[in-house]
Amino acid sequence: MQICNTIPALRQLLDEYRKKGKSIGLVPTMGALHSGHISLIEKAKSGNDVAVCSIYINPTQFNNQEDFEMYPQTVEKDCELLKPAGCDVVFVPSHEEMYPGGFHNDLTKLDFGSISEELEGKFRPGHFNGVGIVVSKLLNIVNPDKAFFGQKDLQQFLIINKLVKDFSFGVELVCCPIIREKDGLAMSSRNSRLSQEERNEASLLFKVLSQAKEKLIFGEDVNVVGNEAKEKIASNKFFKLEYFEIVDIKSLKPIHQIKGLEDIALFVSAYLGKARLIDNILINATKCSDN
Ligand code: PAF
């Protein structure tokens, strides 16, 4: 496994692979890797000759300075996990490499339209602009055949999908299923911020999502199901609910009546102590990769 810290070094290495006809799969990450990321690396390796993982904590996508400063930095440990997973190349750039003009400057603004205004967009102003910029940079730098993202950040995936289509990036995007702990908690780098007491409560979000999904499949009223779910989370003293929404998978706008179950996704975000947790569930699990 080779580690590159600069764009020219990475481009040179990948050009050599390409000259030999090798296909390249990219897994963009911010490090603090867990089994969810490792499953993406394994997918990248099984579908391509060369698996590249980028580790870069992108400052422009943090709308909260404390969240940025608290983001775990574990590059050495990450590399120890990446090697046995089959990763060939790790790209670990500095801020100067990624934003030579500085990241506080007036960077290009991306407007993804209404899908970026729903859900996370309401609580994390500027977040998707920062994601769009860094993912565009990574796609331009690596020029992968395929890029792999987790369904846990489903809104992010839909936005990157739009970015790739709108700017005609020659990459195939792959959305991979959420990897969960035994009790259902979606794996996340931010879970390390949970105290033992908070961790014991953390699976509530998945339980509420799963119960709501079952009720919708059973034909219960969307508004009733949504309100019950919100109540269950809000009444738990450990959680501070931001949103629980039952939405149309394409527009991400809340739905109040069910037309077709396969077009529905359920999203939740809540603070548990200092950790901001997000999760989602699809009624039709194949929908993620269809988009
Ligand atoms: O999902 C993430 O970890 C980040 O948003 C990404 C895609 C690596 C961009 O910084």
Closest atom of ligand 1 relative to the 56 alpha carbon:
10
Distance 19 CA to ligand 1 centre (A): 29
Closest atom of ligand 1 relative to the 29 alpha carbon:
8
Distance 16 CA to ligand 1 centre (A): 26
Helix and strand totals (H; E) in the chain: 12, 9
Active-site residue list: 37
DSSP characters for 179-194?
PB-TTSPBP-GGGGG-
Dist. CA 280–CA 61, nearest whole Å: 20
Could you give the residue ranges of the DSSP H alpha helices within the chain?
A: 7-19, 35-47, 65-70, 75-82, 95-98, 120-123, 127-142, 154-166, 196-201, 204-217, 222-234, 287-290
Stated pTM of the model: 0.96
Q: Domain spans of the chain?
A: 2-176, 189-283
Please state which CATH class domain 2-176 belongs to: alpha beta
pLDDT at 5: 98
Ligand 1: list residues with CB < 6 Å: 28-30, 58, 61, 131, 134-135, 153, 156
Give, using CA atoms, the residue closest to atom 1 of ligand 1. Answer: 29
The span from the first CA to the last CA of the chain, in angstroms, equals 32
Give, using CA atoms, the residue closest to atom 5 of ligand 1. Answer: 131
CATH 3.90.870.10 describes domain 189-283 = no
Per-residue pLDDT of the chain (291 residues; tens, 9 = 90+): 999 999 999 999 999 999 999 999 999 999 999 999 999 999 999 999 999 999 999 999 999 999 999 999 999 999 999 999 999 999 999 999 999 989 886 899 999 999 999 999 999 999 999 999 999 999 999 999 999 999 999 999 999 999 999 999 999 999 999 999 999 999 999 999 999 999 999 999 999 999 999 999 999 999 999 999 999 999 999 999 999 999 999 999 999 988 877 789 999 999 999 999 999 999 986 656 544
Distance 58 CA to ligand 1 centre (A): 8
pLDDT at 291: 41
pLDDT at 258: 85
Distance 28 CA to ligand 1 centre (A): 6
3-state secondary structure of 111: coil
pLDDT at 239: 98
- Which amino acid is located at 52 in the chain? V
Burial of 248 (0-12, 13-18, 19+ CB in 10 A): middle
Q: Which two tokens stand for residue 264?
A: 């529905």
159, 130, 165, 131: which is closest to 251 by C-alpha? 159
Closest atom of ligand 1 relative to the 57 alpha carbon:
10
Give, using CA atoms, the residue closest to atom 9 of ligand 1. Answer: 131
Dist. CA 233–CA 227, nearest whole Å: 10
Dist. CA 260–CA 156, nearest whole Å: 23
pLDDT at 49: 98
pLDDT at 286: 65
Distance 128 CA to ligand 1 centre (A): 10
Contact 280/266 with Cβ under 8 angstroms? yes
Give, using CA atoms, the residue closest to atom 8 of ligand 1. Answer: 29
- Order across the sheet with 275-282: list the strands: 239-248, 264-272, 275-282
